[in-house]
Structure 1
């Protein structure tokens, strides 16, 4: 518009002589007046154009600043968007009632007095906790550093209501140690539960390398009874043990829809680090884990896994985080020593027919003790058991999904033999690991999806889980390779001499309120 106006003024100035000739009767004074008027208008026009140019320059600067700011913000948003966060919260209440081998008041050996006379204490006859409430919070994170390098981590808080330490009897009676931290209720701090880096597609091949705090808890088939549709960890649930280590894996495709895909991993980890050794030779060796985990096939819900590993230079007990610790070891347990090796193999097959999920699993364990022995019987004339002992377990379960009602109903059963060992200190059964049972364990449960509205997050799940567990022990112990697993019916005298009063049967009822976000 300004450009058009200025062109008209210039055209008018050019036409002035012509106008002057045409109007021959007009005086020179009139002509000069018109020229002055046009000159004034031209000056005003120049002033307006200069002001507009100034405004345009200022606006252009602001636009440039905005572009720079948006570029910076975009870069920040891009960096932030690389991080994926999700999590879950669980409130849980439990009722627990257990019967022990000996009736209340039965005298149990309790050591010797200063004169060498035996002392006795009365058996309690049972255990009970009518209510115990716990809160668990877990925060997951995932981020890619480069195209083929990603980090995954999880922080966890798990505590009992009204406590900033572990209540008596939880975690199978073990204090908190590296193999059950974040898995046994303790204080309200957030601890690193998982933290590892995956280097994928190494050399353009379906090969990966991973190192860090491993995803080794709540493995298959635990996702069924825990209300998750996805696999939550690498190893079969018989290996429920947080540890630090590495894995090297290879993925493949069977080339047929019936078998789907598979992957095999070599895994190594450290179960106990002794630190510096002294010159006396009294130090013990580090405990290491090594083995393979093989997803033989996976196609939809169909899944077959085989794992086999060894625990080498196994400790008699780990280093505890406890008020009872004295130089890294509770004194009542005696000195820390290496006992030898344990070998472990297990497998699980899972599938789904219409709305019926099912699985069957089995495990085998074998001890290879050194001169210190495993499963020792201190009531015997030769207490150190240096023989290899084999144990086994079978485990099966079903879950039927009533999708129209948002309801899932499940049942599970497992049996363990006398010398069965499950590596499951990180279990999620609050008191005793059911997969470590030497005898039978039963469980019935239901999961109900809460009508909390439309999901905001793709991770969203809200449900309650109600379950009942019944433990029926045939032999003493569980996750224990130190003492002989005594027959609860036929070896009561030996247990009485040892001062032992193990659980014979137990009922546990739990109710959870869970939100995944």
Structure 2
């Protein structure tokens, strides 16, 4: 616009001239004025945004205020009413009650989530991203007293609690090789709100696929893009084939800088490292129809287990027993999704703008000798189906969607922090039903409604791999619902 105004002034001035000398004089004067104006604009830009102007660092802001009305109903049965921590790190399950009646819990919770993102891109093939987040319930709460694992690094940003600012993402992507078709990345990776969980939040998808993994992690990735596959065969170019390898660590065996037992700094504790590795393979993606797969292995998964054989006997007889956090075994998971970004070709505007998908996932435990994973010393296989669609709404900038998930008895998704206060629909052992509606009020300001209902067939859907993940527990959440409303500013 400023260039257009300057050009208009110059043209008008030229037509007003009566001689060549006058024209030359006026042109020289205008050139000086243009240079002066450019200098002033440059100084003004630097004052307004010196970081962006000089170092190519760009910021974005995401503020979301949410209301959740939750309702959870337990089953009838028997169970333990108290969990008592012991000085050695174990816990005692005490206060056995042979007749715990069904009970319904309700609550209304306001939360405020703030995400600040900084992106630096000094060149076309190098980008770094840092994202920090505060996710708090309105007012003070007692989570630190009742939920000792509420702020572990896998889920700290996904579970509303205090107003502390935490690191959500910090990583770089470096592209290299032929046509920059190779990519290496390291740091705290974006691992929540992958497809299809991103649809319900109205966001772009992250990696990995959310049906199998939807929790934060620290690690590495290496991608071989379609440009590389295309050099092997033209078919790969048509198919849109690519693959990404990932590896990370969920628990570091370390006593820290100053161990209280006199051990050397950062020496190993009594646990083993929890590591994982896997890959995302997209064999086909033509822009409309695609097939995605995800495969993952994890080692030394943890959870509470019986301290002695007598504790297991006591538990069977309804007596108090002790349990401690232990390395229990390994894990394998697989997920495949068929997705359609538009159904058919020109049948209707509605179908052209509909995203539909069907996802199948499988999990398999491999307990160490004598250890129990998910309540069993045997290897257990679980499966889950997730079917859904995200569709245009009644206006120009609104969408609504539906989700249905069904998980088997021993299904175990790698997620604790999916954005549903009653639990993860991806991890459900039973059935989950969900509808949502997201709409734009004005540019950068959106609002949404979501209703989630879960019918659990077994216990332990959102638990660790030990006793709490045992599907045969007699007291557990049988039914749960969450009615959510939010308003969100994003720029």
Counterparts of 2:44 and 2:96, CA distance in 1:
79
The residue aligned with 2:285 is 298
CA 509–169 in structure 1, closer or farther in 2 if over 3 Å, else same:
farther
Question: Does 2:126 match 1:139?
Answer: no
Aligned mates of 1:72, 1:406 — CA distance in 2 = 33
Alignment of structure 1 residues 27-106 onto 2, 5 Å: 79-80=53-54, 82-102=56-76
For 1:347, the equivalent position in structure 2 comes to: 336
Give the match's secondary structure for 2:226. strand
Whole-Å separation in 2 of the counterparts to 1:223 and 1:475: 27
The structure-2 alpha-carbon separation of the partners of 1:305 and 1:73, relative to structure 1 and needing over 3 Å to count, comes to same
| Contact 2:202/2:438 (<8 A) preserved | yes
Where does residue 314 of structure 1 map in the other structure?
A: 301
Aligned counterparts of 1:317 and 1:302: Cα–Cα separation in 2: 43
Q: For the residues of structure 1 that align with 2:255 and 2:60, how far apart are their CA atoms?
A: 40
Post-superposition Cα deviations, 1:282-331, rounded to whole Å, max 9, x if no partner, equal 7111100101112333343533221101111112269xxxxxxxxxxxxx
Q: Name the residue aligned to 1:56.
A: none
CA distance in 2, matches of 1:333, 1:218: 37
- SS class of match (1:150): strand
Partner residue, 1:366: 364
Q: CA RMSD in A?
A: 3.6
- Quickly say closer, same or farther: Cα 1:72–1:449, change in 2 above 3 A: closer
Deviation, structure 1 residue 506: 1.3
Indicate whether 1:123 and 2:100 are aligned: yes
Deviation (angstroms), 1:431: 2.6
Aligned length: 407
Q: Quick one: structure 1 residues 124 and 246, their matched pair in 2 at CA, closer, same or farther if it must change by over 3 Å?
A: same
**Mapping of residues 191-210 of structure 1, within 5 Å:** 191-202=166-177, 205-210=180-185
In 1: Cα distance, 2:268 partner to 2:168 partner? 34
C-alpha distance in 1, partners of 2:70/2:366? 35
User: How many Å separate the matches in 1 of 2:484 and 2:124?
Assistant: 44
The Cα offsets for residues 159-214 of structure 1, whole Å up to 9 and x where unpaired, read as 111126638888xx952211101111121122110000111124764111100001
Match status 1:186 vs 2:177: no
Stretch moving more, 215-224 or 308-317: 308-317
Cα contact 2:407–2:431 (8 A) shared by 1: yes
Separation in 1 of the partners of 2:83 and 2:278? Answer: 45
SS in 2 for 1:223: helix
Unaligned runs of 5+ in 1: 1-58, 319-331, 378-384, 496-500
The structural deviation recorded for 1:109 is: 4.4
- Aligned partner of 1:31 in structure 2 is none
Are 2:311 and 1:336 equivalent residues in the alignment? Answer: no
Counterpart CA distance in 1 for 2:119 and 2:166 is 17
Equivalence for 1:176: 151
**Please, which runs of 5 or more residues in structure 2 have no aligned partner?**
1-31, 85-93, 257-262, 306-320, 344-351
CA offsets 1:390-419 (integer angstroms, 9 cap, x no match): 000000001220364533221110011000
SS of aligned partner of 1:435: coil
Cα distance change of structure 1 residues 122 and 288 upon mapping to structure 2, 3 Å threshold:
same
**Which one of 402, 406, 414 corresponds to residue 405 of structure 2?**
414
Q: Match of 1:150?
A: 127
Deviation at 1:465, TM superposition (A): 1.4
Q: Is 1:481 the equivalent of 2:465?
A: yes
Q: CA deviation at 1:127?
A: 3.7
Q: 1:95 to 1:71 in 2, by over 3 A?
A: closer
* Contact residue 456 and residue 479 of structure 2 kept, 8 A: yes
Q: 1:469 aligns with which of 429, 442, 452?
A: 452
- Select between 396-405 and 439-448 the one with higher mean Cα deviation: 396-405
Residue of structure 1 equivalent to 2:272: 285
Which deviations, in whole Å up to 9, do the C-alpha atoms of 1:34-63 show, x marking residues without a partner?
xxxxxxxxxxxxxxxxxxxxxxxxx9xxx9
Taking structure 1 as the reference length, the TM-score comes to 0.70
Question: 1: CA distance between counterparts of 2:241 and 2:96?
Answer: 59
Match in the other structure for 1:261: 240
CA 1:388–1:512: 2 relative to 1, 3 Å? same
The structure-2 alpha-carbon separation of the partners of 1:428 and 1:111, relative to structure 1 and needing over 3 Å to count, comes to closer
Partners of 1:508 and 1:112 lie apart in 2 by 27
The answer to whether the Cα contact below 8 Å between 1:221 and 1:348 also exists between their aligned partners in 2 is no
Tell me how far apart the structure 2 counterparts of residues 300 and 363 of structure 1 sit (CA, whole Å): 23
2:199 aligned counterpart, secondary structure: helix
Helix, strand or coil at the partner of 2:143: coil
| 1:430 to partner: Cα distance | 1.7
User: 1:223 maps to what in 2?
Assistant: 198
> Separation in 2 of the partners of 1:204 and 1:257?
15
Contact (CA 8 Å) 1:236, 1:348: kept in 2 or not? Answer: no
1:55-97 Cα deviation digits (max 9, x unpaired): xxxx9xxx9xx89x96995995764461122131111111111
Give TM-score, length-normalised by structure 2. Answer: 0.73
| Residue among 397, 422, 425 paired with 1:431 | 422
